[in-house]
């Protein structure tokens, strides 16, 4: 499902901050060489993540789901001088590509990529996060939310990607596949969780932003 016309999307991108050159290169390389390039945040969403990070000025960020590293690089742009972004992914095959573009970005001292099962790694992290970005396997979205909640500082943010799931969230729940049902359950959970203030932004495939009260 395309949420806005291609021409309008192009206009939006043309009037948003340009990607740094290394992100343009990573964008192209992902689309040419890597499976499922639609998973990449891309120019517009990447600039949104960068803007949010600059507004929040985080000291610690946790990203669940690295893919080729595009969103991590965008979020890292807003870190304070001694800030750190930890990003977790289970896919070892993309590790070399991720490390190469972290080096190109000049942000290598601020980004720590980890390989492994996020549900096992998260409990070992002794950090308090200003931002958590969830963009990994959809079936664990609710698990990730519960795992990270106590690690997010008061006033911090939990941002989840793909919460519109190509528009499937509008279909009848009982007829949907498990992943779509979990996305819908996640949205309902956040909306009903009185511990957070939430807004669902129809950016790309949907960003659910929850601020911990």
Q: In order of start, what are the domains of the chain with their CATH numbers?
A: 6-212 (3.40.50.150)
pLDDT of residue 170: 92
Find the mean pLDDT for residues 172-189: 95
pTM recorded for the entire structure: 0.95
Find the mean pLDDT for residues 124-152: 97
Per-residue pLDDT reduced to its tens digit, 191-209: 999 999 999 999 989 999 9
Tokens 């008061």, residue located: 154
How do strand 152-161 and strand 207-212 relate by DSSP bridges? antiparallel
Beta strands in the chain (DSSP E): 60-64, 84-89, 111-115, 129-134, 152-161, 196-201, 207-212
Is it the case that residue 179 has pLDDT exceeding 80? yes
pLDDT of residue 112: 98
Q: For residue 37, name the pLDDT band (cuts at 50, 70, 90).
A: confident
Q: For residue 1, name the pLDDT band (cuts at 50, 70, 90).
A: low
Find the mean pLDDT for residues 56-67: 98
Whether the CB-CB separation of 53 and 125 falls below 8 Å is answered with no
Whether the CB-CB separation of 59 and 83 falls below 8 Å is answered with yes
| CA angle 67–113–92, rounded 5-degree value | 55
Q: Which of 37-41, 108-112, 123-127, 186-190 shows the lowest mean pLDDT across its residues?
A: 37-41
Find the mean pLDDT for residues 73-79: 98
Tokens 């919460």, residue located: 163
pLDDT of residue 212: 98
Task: Count Cβ atoms below 10 Å from residue 198 Cβ, excluding itself.
Answer: 15
pLDDT of residue 152: 98
Is it the case that residue 53 has pLDDT exceeding 70? yes
Q: For residue 35, name the pLDDT band (cuts at 50, 70, 90).
A: confident
Mean pLDDT computed over every residue of the chain: 95
């Amino acid at each position: 499902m395309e949420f806005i016309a291609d021409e309008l999307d192009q206009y939006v991108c043309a009037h948003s901050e340009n990607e740094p050159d290394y992100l343009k290169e990573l964008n192209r390389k992902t689309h040419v060489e890597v499976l499922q390039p639609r998973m990449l945040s891309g120019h517009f969403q990447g600039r949104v993540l960068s803007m949010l990070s600059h507004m929040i000025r985080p000291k610690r960020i946790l990203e669940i789901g690295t893919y080729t590293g595009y969103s991590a690089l965008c979020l890292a742009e807003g870190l304070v001088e001694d800030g750190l972004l930890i990003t977790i992914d289970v896919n070892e095959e993309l590790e070399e590509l991720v490390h190469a573009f972290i080096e190109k970005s000049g942000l290598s001292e601020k980004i720590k990529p980890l390989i492994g099962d996020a549900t096992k790694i998260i409990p070992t992290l002794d950090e308090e996060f200003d931002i958590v970005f969830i963009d990994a396997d959809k079936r664990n979205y609710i698990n990730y939310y519960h795992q990270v909640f106590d690690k997010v500082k008061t006033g911090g943010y939990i941002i989840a990607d793909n919460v519109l799931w190509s528009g499937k969230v509008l279909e009848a729940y009982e007829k949907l596949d498990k992943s779509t049902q979990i996305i819908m359950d996640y949205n309902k959970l956040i909306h009903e969780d009185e511990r957070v203030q939430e807004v669902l932004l129809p950016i790309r495939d949907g960003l659910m932003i929850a601020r911990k009260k």
